[in-house]
Structure 1
């Protein structure tokens, strides 16, 4: 997801009420979905890399955890996967059903609760820009491990932890930190709330849940990205999301 120029600084965050506005995709699902189709961070960066890491999915049972309006599910299905998707936003699932068809295997479910799938039901799980919304990864990762076949793969994309101290230089990189940012999706203003955790906390959580890291990727945007979408780097590398391929032990 693209950080817009209205991202809040720490002084603004300190002035907020203790009850930080929580992310509620139901309220801006359609606007986010429209933005997602052509945005730099979604269409030309995150989604192409997730598909590259997924590789040949023909005949695989794939769970799209946090499927949103279904663009990644659709791309995986087009490549021959049998795709099941779920999202905590009913509005997003409705949009995914419009995209994928009335017979698509879609569910309204919360990654923070037990999932409505049997053990070892899937060969692959994709968790695209989902985990950074969660304070606690232990339960969700245990559920994703449970529904994966032994030896199955979990593909994860999250906000890159190295970007956090760049945007918030006074923050403690090593602390689990909740923060909110302002976004505009197709003209609709929204607030997204995330949880930053350092890289070692991520890998510790994966290991504790029974996953082994196979790949860690920090890619550039896709080669076909329109030049006008790429912001000036000012001598810095492009940092957006961190991508991991994990194996269920």
Structure 2
């Protein structure tokens, strides 16, 4: 996906994410919970979008830097956060503008599933993390591919496109074992694999009507990885 793909619908996407089920009440709370106490930690938020997750990390007392490939999304984040956070224009498909071993934690929220090949991005993320630092990742859960393509092969690495009110996005599916092999081969130890519940604060009216009394659903998959 081109770095400026989000530019044509950046404002609509940013507005939707503020209150959407999957972002506001599922992904962001889950990532912040996995990050835990971040006070005093240096954190890079890769693919920070409009800055909502960056804002949450900042509120937790972290020293946060954001980077974003879409110029329009980066502009929204800068307007939102002002001088509190530096938002760099940077693409994970290329070398990031940071020193080796610069960060305690790197957050890569809903970004890696846009890449067919994770080799380069994971090597770059490992480079900028301190030894023992954490890489916190959220990606599309691999079973979502089978809902999008019921005739698809779960064990393949394949792309698929989803259409939304504000535009379309193309993702790369890979099975769980390919994800975990990629992480370990890049020099990470897998600390946590999580399929968390949605936030208890979620308004009932935005939950799927067929969810019933269930407190969780499959949408994203979350990892905490430690740089070896």
**Class of the TM-score when normalised by the shorter of the 2 chains:** over 0.9
What is the distance in 2 between the residues matched to 1:209 and 1:242?
19
| Partner in structure 2 of residue 36 of structure 1 | 17
Partners of 1:34 and 1:114 in 2: how far apart?
Answer: 30
Q: Distance in 2 between matches of 1:232 and 1:197?
A: 29
Q: SS where residue 28 of structure 1 aligns?
A: helix
Correspondence for 2:55 among 74, 77, 90: 74
Structure 2: distance between partners of 1:204 and 1:102: 39
CA RMSD of aligned residues (A): 1.7
TM-score with structure 1 setting the length: 0.87
Q: For the Cα contact (< 8 Å) 1:23–1:191, is it kept in 2?
A: no
Distance in 2 (CA, whole Å) between partners of 1:158 and 1:56 is 22
Shift of 1:167: 3.0
For 1:161, what is the secondary structure of its paired residue?
coil
Contact 1:125 1:144 in 2 (8 A): yes
Q: 2:167 matched to which residue of 1?
A: 190
Number of residues of Structure 1 aligned to a counterpart in Structure 2: 226
2-structure distance, mates of 1:97, 1:28: 17
The residue matched to 2:143 in structure 1 has which SS?
helix
Q: Where do 4+ consecutive residues of structure 1 move more than 2 Å?
A: 20-23, 232-237
Q: Does 1:227 align with 2:204?
A: yes
Question: 1:126-181 deviations in whole A, cap 9, x for unaligned?
Answer: 00100000111000000000000000000000000022113321001111101111
SS of the residue 2:94 aligns to:
coil
Partner of 1:215: 192
Measure, in 2, the Cα distance between the counterparts of 1:69 and 1:127.
Answer: 14
Structure ranking higher on relative contact order (CA contacts 8 Å, 6+ apart): 1
Match of 1:245 in 2: 224
What is the TM-score normalised by the length of structure 2?
0.95
Q: How far does the alpha carbon of each residue in 1:171-216 deviate from its partner, in whole angstroms, 9 at most, with x for none?
A: 01111101111111xxxx3010100000001001101110111001
Q: Shift in Å at residue 233 of structure 1?
A: 3.7
Answer whether contact 1:61 1:122 (CA < 8 A) is retained: yes
How many Å apart are 1:217 and its aligned residue? 0.6
Q: Which runs of 5+ in 1 are unaligned?
A: 1-19
Aligned to 2:177: 200
Structure 2 residue runs of 5 or longer lacking an equivalent are: none
